[in-house]
Structure 1
Amino acid sequence: MSFFPRSTGALLILLFISLFSNPATCQLQSANTGFISAVISEKGLVFVKDFLVEQAIRSLTSLRLPDIEKSVKIPLIGGVHLAASNIMLDNIDVSSSTIRPSDTGIQIVASGASASLSLKWNYTYSTWFLIPVEVSDNGSAFVQVEGLEVRLTTRVDNQNGNLVLNVTQCVCHVEDIKIILDGTATWLYQGFVIAFENRIRSTMENSIMKKIRDGTGKLDSLLQALPKQIDVGDIAAFNVTFVDDPVVKNSSIEFDVDGLFVPSPKALVGNYLQKQSHSSISSVYCGDSFNMLGISVEEAVFDSASLVLLEQGLFHWIVDKVPNQSLLNTASWKFIIPQLFRKYPNDEMLLNISLPSAPVIKISQKGFVAMIFSEMIVEVLDGDDTIPVACISLGFTVSGAAEISFNKLVGRAGLNDFSLSLKWSKIGNFKMFLIQGVIRVLLNTVVMPYINIHLHKGFPIPVLHGLTLQNARIITTNSTMVLCSDVAFINSSNIT
């Protein structure tokens, strides 16, 4: 067997990504609160607004409005049946748009917009010349719309852990319409304007509002389809259930999620730890100015990851291969533990390492520190027998830092200090300071390099398809880690 089992890489990454997301003696408890908070700042809201307005324009362009028919009386002509068909919204130009979050909801206003429509017209009427004769004609028309304004107000509520988007107001108003008919007589132009100006106005307003409501309905479906948990291999699941309603302020919106890890594939039956302190919007602060997005992760996320690994029995390793293989032979220990060599001369050895408790991870302004307590049983291979000869309690601390690289959370770690004590021995007592050098070599040449290999590979940060993080950085404070980032489109033409 090698130093780490196959799943250890995933375990180390799981522990590390819990950064992004105290002693492990707590039992399963229910806590209706979130351990990860995400804040979309004013800058981020403007980004979202611009995207939604752009998508609305795309969906409205080439929109076909319902046909219109009407009979009118025109002087000297009499009763005329008019019809407008193939009414197409060809273009919309939005000069300004705003987003206004408040306690009553989030309002997006597009104002001062103009639009152009094209349509086909036809008319029929009867006249008498000895006998009744039906007169008809058809052609095309152009409609210029000015002063178009759309107001959309929505609320985002939490419903059983899912986000629900409710439209509380959708208003569309057209200020002015100018109709130009191609190749027509004055009498038809006036009659057409009288018959259809208000109808085109109302039809356009109603069609735009319906299209926008349909779009928000699709967005609501996407929000409700968001998963409540994300599987991390076959080891654990990340609970991303939304907690409480979003907090809407004048220039930001905060979303809280549970954020704890649970064993997979168990159901999300509750949280592991009672919340000690809860981050507020003020804690998700990214320096002198807000980035588009700020995500704060509390230490409790670490605790849950550690507990999952401990409960799954995955804090256990058999060390039988090391870079300096001679260290796993009693001959290398004859001057350190003479009685071991005398009793088992030139026998191969194994190190059976397990963690009786989960690592304790603390976050500070300097980064993170992990305190790990383990037990190492020295086993000798004597023929076909594996004989445990001594158990050493080993405690060590590891410090490190995290950073963002190409949409991945990566990091580095280094050994700070360690301590040894003899728990029991079948070969008599021996001095711990004599073996400190060997243990330090094992930690620095085997354990820490292996951990750093996996930390360097990193863990992909969940980002919506088509988006990428930009100017991302990580800030650590007391008990909290904050990811601050802007987002950008990889290729906006592919976003739908």
Structure 2
Amino acid sequence: MLLQQRGEQRVTVWTINPGFEGKITNRGINYGCQIVMSVLQNRLFDIKIPDISGIKHTNALHQLQYNIDSVTIRNVNLPDMSIILVPNMGLKVAMSNGYIETNGNWLIKSKIFRTHGTVKAQINNIAISFFLKFGKDNTGRPTVSITDCASYISKLHIYVSGKASWLYNLIIRWHEPSLRRYLNDKICLELQEILSEKINPFLQTMPVTKKIDKYVGIDYSLTSPPAVGKDSVTLPLKGEFYNLLHHTNVPFSAPPLDFLVDHGRMLYIGFSEYFFNSAGYAFNSVGDLSINITDDMLPTNSRIHLDTATIGTLIPQVKKMYPIMKMKLHLVSDSAPSVALLADKIILTTSGDIYAFAILPNSTLAPLFNIKLNAQITTTIGIKGDKITGQLTLDRVQLSLKKSHIGSFQVNCLQTAIDFLVSIVILPRINAALDDGYPLPLIGHFKLSNLIVQPHKNFLLFATDLSYT
């Protein structure tokens, strides 16, 4: 069992309920922080340690002039990391047993001698701790900030080679405290720069709107800042399809969307019925849910043809009034389709009108009849790449006669023909568009893997791992 719904004692606190919600589990959080630590580890190689120079007065050698330069970091290892989720606050990140190794050159001279050599530093047991807080910018994208950053170096070993290295060891000891302070401060500065230069710009690649076609888009903006719970970070997204030309409010609200996860995957994505029903509303509002059907759209080997001869075998007056003519059907929805998410399946119900015409020799249309259609369709939802896809399979169609221009007839005689047209002509065209998919709000370079899909009552669940490429 991937999840269970929360009991009534749990209260959802979103001021605007999300239509689409992601929950990043501990596995996903650790994976993301490992990526950040990998970036930090690579950035530490680029730290420019300033040259150290000065003059020291001694009783024995009088004035000594010394210099340490060309210090570079040649090895970095940040092995151990722990993350604690602090509900309603953020993430407490701690790293221990870090290791940095540097190489450099030294020079010392006085009035009576000059010598030089190499210097190597081994910095062991580096500990770093900081607090990650999540927010939301005015575009609806997530933001991350760091507070309470601290770095501590437990052990600093410096090895000096060359003539008079014993003397240089004395000088190094004078600067060891300042070197520790410099590295401690620099590590936290690097983390802040990674956030400002890498992480937050990276989060800006999260799409908050996606254009489906020239008429319809999806709003994936955050409805509130990411929320940290005891075992996951929740991203509540609006998850609404909308009319690009005339953005109006959907005439229904999103129900609370709240679910538990079992932590077998890095990311759990919940789609509420609102997400899918807003799609039906948006496409219906732009007049996209209509189709004209003519005989040339049928398979070439079809035994059923859309002409007055074929339909006339079912309704004789059609053939009598309009002999040997092609026909045209105009199918248009009369309301937005509705999706019901059940525990074991997904049901789409839709209704509309079928207007039947005979195509006269002069290409004008002669109205024949108008039929009311109600259809129930089983829907299969999946994910392909970074898109959500779907496939529709017809369950049943109910017909009723609304108006006839050819006299009365029993509409049930058209049942087989209409079932055939819906299954062979209409659904394949819709399925082709659904198979192209609708984009998910994935941040750049992340891919989904090990996907599981489960329908639940009132919401659909995707459980997936993430990979960064």
> Structure 2 CA distance, aligned partners of 1:40 and 1:60?
28
The higher-RCO structure (CA 8 Å, 6+ apart) is 1
Partner residue of 2:74?
A: 90
How does 1:63-142 map onto structure 2 within 5 Å?
Answer: 63-102=47-86, 103-126=88-111, 135-142=113-120
Looking at structure 2, the residues matched to 79 and 271 of structure 1 have their Cα atoms a distance apart, in angstroms, of 81
Question: Matches of residues 143-222 of structure 1 in structure 2 within 5 Å?
Answer: 143-160=121-138, 161-185=140-164, 187-218=166-197, 219-222=199-202
Partner of 1:447: 426
Check conservation: 2:116, 2:162, Cα contact below 8 A: no
Cα shift at 1:444: 2.5
**Amino acid of the structure 2 residue aligned with 1:336:** L
Q: Which amino acid aligns with 1:150?
A: I
Q: Determine the C-alpha separation between the residues in 2 that align with 1:43 and 1:368.
A: 30
Gaps of 5+ in 1: 1-30, 128-134, 491-496
For residue 351 of structure 1, the aligned residue among 304, 329, 332 is: 329
CA contact (8 A) 1:121 1:141 kept: yes
Distance 1:310 1:404 in 2: 24
Structure 2: state its 5+ residue gaps.
1-14
Does the 8 Å CA contact 2:265/2:464 hold for their aligned counterparts? Answer: yes
Please give the alpha-carbon distance, in whole angstroms, between the structure 2 residues aligned to 1:443 and 1:202. Answer: 74
Q: Judging changes above 3 Å, is the alpha-carbon distance between structure 1 residues 279 and 487 closer, same or farther for their aligned structure 2 residues? A: same
Change (3 A) 1:225 1:47: closer
Alignment map for 1:274-353 (pairs within 5 Å): 274-280=252-258, 283-285=259-261, 288-320=262-294, 321=296, 322-323=298-299, 324=302, 327-353=305-331
Contact residue 135 and residue 226 of structure 2 kept, 8 A: yes
Report the 3-state secondary structure (helix = DSSP H, G, I; strand = E; otherwise coil) of the residue aligned with 1:34: coil
Q: Tell me if structure 2 keeps the 8 A contact 1:99–1:109.
A: yes
SS in 2 for 1:65: coil
Do 1:49 and 1:98's aligned partners in 2 also have CA atoms closer than 8 Å? no
Aligned-residue offset at 1:284 = 4.9
Shift of 1:294: 0.5
Partner of 2:466: 487
Q: Which residue of 1 aligns with 2:227?
A: 247
Give the corresponding residue for 1:260: 240
Does the 8 A contact of 1:243 with 1:258 survive in 2? yes
* Distance in 2 separating the partners of 1:344 and 1:234: 40
* Shift in alpha-carbon separation, 1:166–1:342, aligned structure 2, 3 A: same
Q: Shift of residue 75 of structure 1?
A: 4.5
CA contact (8 A) 1:232 1:238 kept: yes
Please, which moves more after superposition, 217-226 or 35-44? Answer: 217-226
Inter-partner Cα distance in structure 2 for 1:33 and 1:59: 40
Identity within the alignment, %? 19
1:266-312 per-position Cα deviation (integer Å, ceiling 9, x unaligned): 6xx674244342112xx153xx5441000101111112111111111
1:23 — aligned with what? Answer: none
Describe the shift of the 1:221–1:333 C-alpha distance in structure 2 as closer, same or farther (beyond 3 A).
Answer: closer
Deviates more, 1:71-80 or 1:246-255: 71-80
Q: Residues 480 and 411 (structure 1 numbering): CA distance in 2 closer, same or farther, change over 3 Å?
A: same
1:313 and 1:380, CA in 2 relative to 1: closer, same or farther beyond 3 A? same
Partner Cα separation in structure 2 for residue 443 and residue 274 of structure 1: 29
Aligned residues of 2:221 and 2:237 also touching (Cα < 8 A): yes
| 8 Å CA contact retained: 1:294, 1:484 | yes
- Equivalents in 1 of 2:46, 2:145: separation in Å? 27
2:4 matched residue in structure 1: none
Structure 1 residue 237 corresponds to structure 2 residue 217? yes
Residue 164 of structure 1 and its aligned partner are, at CA, apart by 2.4
Per the normalisation by structure 2, the TM-score is: 0.89
Compared CA separation, residues 48 and 423, structure 1 to 2 (3 A): same
8 Å contact 1:273–1:304 — kept in the other structure? Answer: no
Relative to 1, partners in 2 of residues 1:255 and 1:348: Cα closer, same or farther, differing over 3 Å? same
Report the counterpart of residue 20 of structure 1 in structure 2: none
Any conservation in 2 of the 1:39–1:294 contact (CA below 8 Å)?
A: yes
1:389/1:196 CA distance change after superposition, 3 Å: same
Residues 276 and 459 from structure 1, CA distance in 2 versus in 1: closer, same or farther, beyond 3 angstroms?
Answer: closer
- Separation in structure 1 between the aligned mates of residue 333 and residue 350 of structure 2, nearest angstrom: 8
Amino acid paired to 1:310:
N
Q: d(CA) in 2 for partners of 1:352 and 1:326?
A: 18
How far apart are 1:149 and its partner, in Å? 1.0
The structure 1 segments of at least 4 consecutive aligned residues displaced by more than 6 Å after TM superposition are none
Q: Deviations over 1:455-480 (max 9, x none)?
A: 44545645444332221011111110
Q: Give the letter for the 2:404 counterpart.
A: S
1:478 and 2:457 are equivalent in the alignment? yes
Letter in 2 for 1:167: I
| Offset from partner CA, 1:238-290 (integer Å, 9 cap, x none) | 11111112111232100111110112256xx674244342112xx153xx544
SS of 2:214 mapped into structure 1: coil
| Matches of 1:89 and 1:232, distance apart in 2 | 49
Spell out, residue by residue over 1:399-419, the C-alpha distance to the aligned partner (whole angstroms, 9 max, x if none): 022234555544433111111
1: CA distance, partners of 2:341 / 2:216: 22
The letter for the 1-side match of 2:237 is: V
Tell me the equivalent position of 1:44: 28
Measure how far apart 1:224 and its partner are. 4.0
Q: Which residue of 2 aligns with 1:34?
A: 18
- 8 Å Cα contact 2:45-2:73 kept in structure 1: yes
3-state SS of 1:243 partner: coil
**Displacement after TM superposition at 1:143 (Å):** 0.5
Instruction: Mark the CA change 1:147 to 1:265 in structure 2 (over 3 Å): closer, same or farther.
Output: farther
Checking the alignment, whether the CA contact within 8 Å between 1:64 and 1:86 is kept in structure 2 is: no
Q: Which residue is equivalent to 2:412?
A: 433
